[in-house]
Chain A
Amino acid sequence: MSREQIEHTIIRVLRIVGILFFVLMVAFPFYWMIASSLRPLEEILMNPANLGLDFRKIDLSAYYNVLFDHGFVRYILNSLYVSIITVALSVALATVGGYAVTRLRFRGQSFMSYSILIIYMFPAIVLVIPLYVIFSHMGLRDSVNVLILVYLAQTLPVALYMLRSYFKTLPLEIENAGLIDGCTRFGVIWRIIIPLSAPALASVGLYTFMIAWNEFLFAFMFLDTPDKFTLSRGVVQLAGSVHLSKQLVMAASVLVTLPILFLFLFFERYLARGMTSGAMKG
């Protein structure tokens, strides 16, 4: 074999090994979670180390149990409510805010533009105690709407930052064309900027949704009434309960994970770039 062939072979082998390693890292726990949630309880107890899944013995009772006996329908609705409102507000505010710091000239514009991310330098754990105290005093603590506020504060900096970077790549001349053709500033944002930013808006929406859907710390601290629990809070509640059943916890975990997975698969095609090609010369 020539030196070149040897190099190619080594690279190919390394690539396969690398991919396999990461796939196993990610896919195995996921597989294990799904498999455990579908196996009948007796089988888990009898043979806990068995990794196989017998398709003839698939048992969906754990899901039924979790959804209807342990209040997960409620938790899903709560999580959906919190996540969707957070996404809507975050995308809307980040769009106008990102546009403002990119295109409009005002006092403190560049400071605003660059200080957006500073808020992200504070870890959530530093903020959670003071916020707990403040919200307790204000009587706002045990409420999903407060969670929305906190999630917004958490996601907006990154959302603004992402959209700002994207807006900067949009050609100014298209906006000027819109202004001359009869749009107001908001008209330009609505009819030109937003359609052209669909990929960026989809990423921001997805990012925000994942944060809001998965968030645990604030939900754990702020929510006391089981009726107001979000999914992640509900899973922990379930895992901590006396009659711990691994099967139920796994089913609950699947319920947390699947929506994100489908959302990602669905939005993935919108994340592709290249929407503006053709506007300009060349």
Chain B
Amino acid sequence: MASLTLKDVGKKFGKTAALSGVDLHVEDGEFCVLLGPSGCGKSTLLNVIAGLVPQDKGIIELDGHSIDRLAPRDRDVAMVFQSYALYPHMTVAKNLGFGLRMRGVPKATIRKKVLDTASLLGIDGLLNRKPRELSGGQRQRVAMGRALTRRPKLFLLDEPLSNLDARLRSNVRLELKQLHTRLKTTIVYVTHDQVEAMTLGEKVVVMRDGEVRQTGRPETIYSFPADTFVATFIGSPEMNLYRGMILHNGEHPVFQGRGFHMDMGDLQLNPVDGEVDLGFRPEDVKIVEAGAETLPVKVEMISDVGSEKYIHTQIGREHLTLRAPKDASFRPGEIINLTIDLTRLHIFKGGVRMD
């Protein structure tokens, strides 16, 4: 186990910057998730940490010691690949023990450790099979087992669940979480799936265009997104976000959006010049009886996801989505009245969060 520190790591492929100025600290035993859309540099970052891709600048430290000059095999890290990358010509047992064998560990020890790992993951019955004789879920376990057998300082997981079907994925996600609680290993986990990031991560790092946009606990990132990208990338359905001005003419500040305005009540706001982005999440809108301060809107479409309903409406010339309980019975065309939880408003100036 070890802590991992990255300082100002940069990498260019030709003229495009895959990573620029990435700083990151992962505590000993922490589960850190790198989250971002495809092409944001998260997999490159993982390869840089593993030593498969050399960085152009910056320092990588494991337990306070620089590992920049070490070959991948000397870094004492293990990696689980998206495609699993099992050795097709070796049995499961050989796959699991390969890393130990390369390090000259005695055969008896290897056998014992392979058995331990296999029973930990419930694949003891498959040890003599070849990868092509396994199902997708079994291959995924073997891939994880191969990383586990060696007990390295650091685990790197590159979208390990993305090739599983939805049901299996949520099961394995839970197991992974339990495994981490049990083994307390330091993990860097790459995904583009925000549900994985939020459920697994103790620390979530949101990346875009090779830069870290926000680092924090999942609930912090959800409740206090640092910029409009993080705000819209995290959360489903995504946050309602409107461009407009905040006016301080009357007794309350008022947000003037495209074709609508919103009284901001007693919210204490410093005057802001120019345009801002105002956001609130679909669950922070409530449907209420008509009243003086409610916002009447027309229901346009309803998406029923079973556990709840998403109601799509129009506010001024902008789109608004809100969450409604599963028993809500509205019809398209119906007028409903909304109130917005003003304490949960997010205001961004130039794309960056204001407090």
Interface residues of A (CB under 8 A from B): 171, 173-174, 176-184, 187, 192, 195-196, 275-282
Contact = CB atoms under 8 A, between A and B. Distances in A.
Interface in B64-114: 71-73, 75, 77-79, 81-89, 98-99, 102-103
Contact of A279 (B85, B98, B133): B85
B52 A180 contact: yes
B223 interface: no
B71 A179 contact: yes
A187 B84 CA distance: 20
17 contacts: A176-B72, A176-B81, A176-B85, A177-B79, A178-B98, A179-B73, A180-B51, A180-B79, A181-B146, A182-B103, A196-B89, A278-B133, A278-B139, A279-B88, A281-B83, A281-B84, A282-B136
B7 interface: no
Nearest to A175: B85
A142 to B, nearest CB: 45
B102 A280 contact: no
B83 A276 contact: no
B131 A281 contact: no
Contacts of A282: 136, 163
A192 B87 contact: yes
Given A278-B134, A281-B136, A183 B73 contact: yes
Contacts of B86: 174, 177, 278-279
Instruction: Give the one of A171, A184, A279 with max B CB within 10 A.
Output: A279
B50 interface: yes
Contacts of A182: 73, 98-99, 102-103
Nearest to B156: A180
B184 interface: no
A181 B85 contact: no
B309 interface: no
Contacts of B81: 173, 176-177
B132 interface: yes
A201 to B, nearest CB: 13
B100 to A, nearest CB: 8
A179 B70 CA distance: 12
Interface string B159-189: 0000100000000000000000000000000
Contacts of B85: 171, 173-174, 176-177, 279-280
Interface of B: 47, 50-52, 71-73, 75, 77-79, 81-89, 98-99, 102-103, 130-134, 136, 139, 146, 150, 163
A177 B87 contact: yes
A183 B86 CA distance: 15
B134 A179 contact: no
A154 to B, nearest CB: 31
Given A196-B89, A277-B88, A180 B134 contact: no
A281 B52 contact: no
A250 B333 CA distance: 94
Given A278-B132, A282-B163, A173 B71 contact: no
A276 B88 contact: yes
A179 B73 CA distance: 6
A223 B147 CA distance: 58
Which of A173, A183, A196 is most buried by chain B, counting CB atoms within 10 A of its CB? Answer: A173
Contacts of A195: 89
Contacts of A173: 81-83, 85
A237 B51 CA distance: 61
A139 to B, nearest CB: 47
Contact of B72 (A179, A277, A279): A179
A171 B85 CA distance: 8
Contacts of A280: 83-85
B73 to A, nearest CB: 4
B130 A180 contact: no
A247 to B, nearest CB: 49
Contacts of B139: 278, 281
A196 B88 CA distance: 8
A275 to B, nearest CB: 6
A274 B84 CA distance: 17
Contacts of A179: 51-52, 71-73
Contacts of B150: 181
Q: Most B CB atoms within 10 A — which of A176, A183, A196, A276?
A: A176
Contacts of A181: 73, 78, 98-99, 102, 146, 150
Given A281-B163, A282-B136, A180 B89 contact: no
A58 B81 CA distance: 64
Contacts of A171: 83, 85
A176 B71 CA distance: 12
A181 B74 CA distance: 9
Contacts of A180: 50-52, 72-73, 75, 77-79, 99
Given A177-B81, A179-B72, A180-B79, A275 B88 contact: yes
B80 to A, nearest CB: 9
Given A181-B98, A278-B133, A281-B136, A176 B52 contact: yes
A196 B98 CA distance: 16
Contacts of B51: 179-180
B26 to A, nearest CB: 18
